[in-house]
Amino acid sequence: MFSLFDLSLRLNRFPIQKAKRDLERIMKLTAIEKTKFIENQKKAIVDFHLKNNSFYKDLVGNVTSNEWEKLPVLNKTNLQKSLKKRLSKGYSINNIYLNKTSGSSGTPFIFAKDKYCHALTWASNFMRFGWHHINLNTSYQARFYGIPKDFIGNTKERLKDFLSRRYRFSVFDLSDDNLEYFILQFQTKKFDYINGYTSSIVLFAKFLHKKNIVLKDICPSLKVCMVTSEMLFKEDKKLLERQLGIPIVNEYGASELDLIAFQNTDGQWQINAETLYVEILDDEDSVLPYGEVGRIVITSLFNKAHPFIRYDIGDIGILDESSTPYKPILKKLVGRTNDVVHFPSGKKSPGLIFYYVTKSIIEDDGNVKEFIIKQTQIDSFEIKYVSETTLSAAKIQKMQQAIDLYLEPNLNFIFIQKQSLKRSKRGKLKQFKSDLILS
Same structural domain for residues 410 and 315?
no
**Of 336, 371, 397, which residue constitutes the final position of a domain?**
336
Whole-number Å distance between alpha carbons of 178 and 169: 9
Same structural domain for residues 280 and 207?
yes
* Terminal alpha carbon distance of the chain: 60
Same structural domain for residues 174 and 110?
yes
Same structural domain for residues 287 and 351?
no
Q: Can you give the pLDDT at residue 155?
A: 86
Same structural domain for residues 280 and 265?
yes
Whole-number mean pLDDT of the chain? 89
How far does CA 89 lie from the centroid of its chain?
30
Same structural domain for residues 399 and 307?
no
Q: Can you give the pLDDT at residue 160?
A: 83
Query: Is residue 123 in some structural domain?
Result: yes
Same structural domain for residues 294 and 324?
yes
**Of 336, 368, 394, which residue constitutes the final position of a domain?**
336
Distances (CA, A) of 374 to 106, 121, 413, 422: 15, 35, 10, 13
Q: Give the CATH number of the domain where residue 52 resides.
A: 3.40.50.12780
The total domain count for the chain is: 2
Query: Is residue 221 in some structural domain?
Result: yes
Task: Tell me the per-residue pLDDT of 350-360, one tens digit each, with 9 for 90 and over.
Answer: 676 776 677 66
pTM metric for this prediction:
0.82
Residue 21 confidence (pLDDT) above 80: yes
* Cα torsion angle, 51, 53, 57, 63, sign: negative
Query: Is residue 304 in some structural domain?
Result: yes
Same structural domain for residues 315 and 358?
no
Same structural domain for residues 99 and 46?
yes
Query: Is residue 439 in some structural domain?
Result: no
Q: Residue range 15-33: average pLDDT?
A: 95
Query: Is residue 117 in some structural domain?
Result: yes
Range of the domain at 151: 4-336
Same structural domain for residues 162 and 242?
yes
Q: Can you give the pLDDT at residue 122?
A: 93
Q: Can you give the pLDDT at residue 124?
A: 95
Q: Can you give the pLDDT at residue 1?
A: 42
Query: Is residue 356 in some structural domain?
Result: yes
* Cα torsion angle, 96, 259, 324, 337, sign: positive
Most confident segment among 125-134, 230-239, 425-434: 125-134
Same structural domain for residues 241 and 373?
no
Q: Give the CATH number of the domain where residue 401 resides.
A: 3.30.300.30
**Of 302, 321, 336, which residue constitutes the final position of a domain?**
336
Same structural domain for residues 219 and 358?
no
Residue 167 confidence (pLDDT) above 60: yes
